[in-house]
Amino acid sequence: MGAATSINPTEKAVRRRIYLMRHGAVTYFTPAGVPIPPDGVPLNTAGITQAEAAGRLFAQHGVNFDRVIVSGLPRTIQTAERLLAQLESASTLEHRPALQEIRAGKLRDIPKHELRESFLSVLYGTASLDTKFMGGESVGELLDRVLPEIDGLRQDPDWSTLLLVLHGGVNRAILSYLLSGQRTMMGGFEQSPACINVIDIGAAPRDVILRATNLSPTDWLQHDTRSSTMEVLFGQYAAQGSRNP
């Protein structure tokens, strides 16, 4: 056996803070049930309210960010802009396309009896790497592009407080990776619109503390919510009985 590592119990841990957010609420289907192209969908009225509420919360506690990173899709950009407008300090948004949401396929190509599973399979326990989201990108493909970005940010010393405004599936992948140290995705991390996750990281890969998850700035207790955001999304689609492209 090698020599045991000496630990000084009085040494203060030095960790950096990540505020990991999901974008605010959007509307993915028209009233007729036709899917809206996800790359361009904007925040809806509720999403704007949520993003501004998050900004006021950060302002109330005097939080400022060294860097602000978004995926580059309009819903993340708008969420970050509405949030930052509530703060005194200005921040430039960094766009990271590799952090865009897990990519869906075409609903018209999915057999009707497989639709529910295609929406929800990534939420079941630890999703296998070959699980595809709505007939599109697999969990493994998502991890292939997201995890190197997170590793790069951890190795970059040029920040102490970081805001990431991303997506539900991407956030689940990041939380799973940071907490487990493994290339995995645990679907049970619910990510409500504009939610805030608070994560502290140290120098060692295993030095990760999840201080809070899925804090909803306009609905702290989420008392009336029992469904996941993906279940709600599937319900909106299924209620129309539509198979439009």
Residue 1 lies in a domain: no
Number of domains the chain contains? 1
Burial of 113 from C-beta contacts in 10 A (0-12 / 13-18 / 19+):
exposed
Residue 20 lies in a domain: yes
Q: What is the pLDDT of residue 26?
A: 95
* pLDDT string in tens for the chain (245-residue length): 445 545 555 556 689 999 999 999 999 888 777 778 889 999 999 999 999 999 999 999 999 999 999 999 999 999 999 999 999 877 899 999 999 999 988 877 888 888 888 788 888 889 899 988 888 899 999 999 999 999 999 999 999 999 999 999 999 999 999 999 999 999 999 999 999 999 999 999 999 999 999 999 999 999 988 888 888 878 877 776 544 44
Residue 206 lies in a domain: yes
Q: What is the pLDDT of residue 116?
A: 84
Residue 243 lies in a domain: no
Measured between its terminal Cα atoms, the distance across the chain in Å is 62
Q: What is the pLDDT of residue 83?
A: 98
Give this prediction's pTM.
Answer: 0.89
Task: Please choose, from the candidates 95, 114, 228, 237, the residue with its C-alpha nearest in 3D space to the C-alpha of residue 172.
Answer: 228
What CATH number is attached to the domain comprising 233? Answer: 3.40.50.1240
Residue 23 lies in a domain: yes
How many whole angstroms from its chain centre is CA 33? Answer: 25
* Domain range enclosing 62: 16-238
Residue 8 lies in a domain: no
Residue 138 lies in a domain: yes
Q: How far apart are CA 76 and CA 149, in angstroms?
A: 17
Residue 231 lies in a domain: yes
35 forms beta bridges with: 29
